[in-house]
Amino acid sequence: MVWTPSICKTKIKPAEFICVYRSRTTDSLDEGALRFLSSGYVDYHLLLYDILGSEAHLIMLHEIGFLSSTSLKDLLAGLETIRKNPKILDIDKFEDIHECIETYLVTNLGYDVGGILQTARSRNDQVTLDLRMMVRDTINLISRMLVQLIDELLSRSEDNFNSIMPMYTHLQQAQLGTFAHFLLSYAEILSRDLDRLNDSYDRINLSPLGACAIGGTSINIDRYRTSSLLGFKGILNNSIDATTSRDDLIEYMSSLGIIMLNLSRIAEDFILWSTTEFGFVEIPDKYSSTSSLMPQKKNPDTLELIRAKASTVVGFLFGAMSLVKGLPSGYSRDLQELKPVLINSSRVVKESLNVLIPIVRGLKVNHAHMMDAARSSYAISVDIAEQLVSQKHISFRSAHRLVGSIVRTAVEKGNIPLSKLAESDIQNAFGQDASGVEPRDVLKVIQRLSPEKSIESRLSSGSPSVLQQRKLFDILLEKKKAYEKLISEREKSVNSAFNHLSHAAERYTQAGKT
């Protein structure tokens, strides 16, 4: 369940403003200090989760005999009013969403009823509860988007098993490969992103509710009941850990940072290959920009921004890590600053995936240009050397030296293809030491090795031969299907718990049953 309400602007109905938390102090909070302290500008992302957590907590208090059915009915009705009409609140007038909601209930129900809401819990366990529920939903959403991107990559790879092109190291042509091989490499790294998110989900899917400020409560609450009502698989066992630690959330942000690094690499490849100099692919018009001056320009701006936003998310991650590195055990207000970087990291990843998926789907592949580059490339040199090793039984280093000399001769003759060399050219390239190999034998190897033969000759697992690509395709397809099933099961579990909670809240609100 992912739910983002509108930003709340409507004022609370009663004219008199009540600040329910200022029991120790006598003066009202300075207006400037309130603006400085308030996290209302991001807390609307947490509103639904805070309501759900409050409803589960109240139902549990009623079930252990602490809260009367009448008070439960009134409190749940108030929370449901907010949930159905979030604009009834004015979050900007409060330090955070928790104070805003409680103030609304106290204002409308009085201290005797509205003031019960915070019994046996604190903002400290509330905020980490809300964040965990939000991140839990966001992991499922981002995982679904990753699965969709992997699906597009697999689909495009099927059409490109034979799209031969040069592969690069140091941005220099290295060996021949296929476009499908690149696409499958992207699917591979994204599948590891799914693995990381899945591991993170299991650690985040634990409830801190009931840990209170730091040391629990003397009221005999049932933390396992609220955990179940909210769809968690269990609780965080230690109350200090539950309210202090943010390592699980930072681990999640780390996974987002790695996702963006991977998306940046994909984007950079497409940017390079879409240039006139490469001409291997063309970005869909819908995801390209133009120049205000140069009418011929078609710029891959969406991909450039994915590349740039990777640094933004990594910056958020290091900001979060710097935030917690010097904090003592126990909640500190510093942790409030984790909320915007956490929320914005998720937003950037979702937006980046949202544009990259259709770019992959609509990418135009210039097969002929790729093949022309492969045919004129010296990237076939490794294959020639390996054929000499296999057929003429010379050492690889000897073959390496011979082929290097041959390539140098071809370059000196105007960068002509190796297949255009004459036997005399190869003889001259050999010099005095040919390691017992005849120039005509080398020329035969060169002329037999077309780009197609080069790809077919690859035997090692994970290479770009069609057989190996097929194997990897099948592995990735099965993994994708497994994750589709897992994500659906996780979503079903959470939604089932939320539906059960909603029905329970509705039942208590309407009938007030004990």
Task: List, by residue number, the catalytic residues.
Answer: 170, 291
User: Residue 44 has what DSSP assignment?
Assistant: G
DSSP run (H or E) holding 52: helix 47-63
Cα distances (angstroms) measured from residue 127 to each of 90, 302, 338, 370: 19, 35, 11, 53
* Element housing 286 (H / E): none
Longest dimension (CA), the chain: 102
Could you give the dihedral angle defined by the CA atoms of residues 476, 480, 481 and 482, in that order, rounded to the nearest 10 degrees?
100
403, 406, 398, 392: which is closest to 438 by C-alpha?
A: 392
**Helix or strand holding residue 258 (H, E):** helix 247-273
Asked if residue 91 lies in contact with residue 44, where contact means CB atoms within 8 angstroms, the answer is yes
CB atoms within 10 A of CB 154: 20
Axis crossing angle, helix 69-84 with helix 97-109, rounded to the nearest 10? 120
Find the DSSP H helices in 290-438: 301-324, 338-362, 367-375, 381-392, 396-412, 423-430
On whether the CB atoms of residues 76 and 508 are closer than 8 A, the answer is yes
Smallest Cα–Cα separation from 181: which of 206, 154, 208, 202? Answer: 154
Q: How many residues does the chain have?
A: 514
Ramachandran sector of residue 431 (left: φ over 0; alpha: ψ -120 to 50; beta: rest): left
Q: Judge whether 334 and 37 are in contact, CB under 8 Å.
A: no
AA letter at 355: V
Q: Are 68 and 113 in contact (CB under 8 A)?
A: no
Say how many Å lie between the first and final Cα of the chain, rounded: 29
Q: Which candidate, 447, 264, 275, places its Cα nearest to that of 352? A: 264
Neighbours of 495 (CB within 10 A): 13
Q: How far apart are CA 293 and CA 305, in angstroms?
A: 21
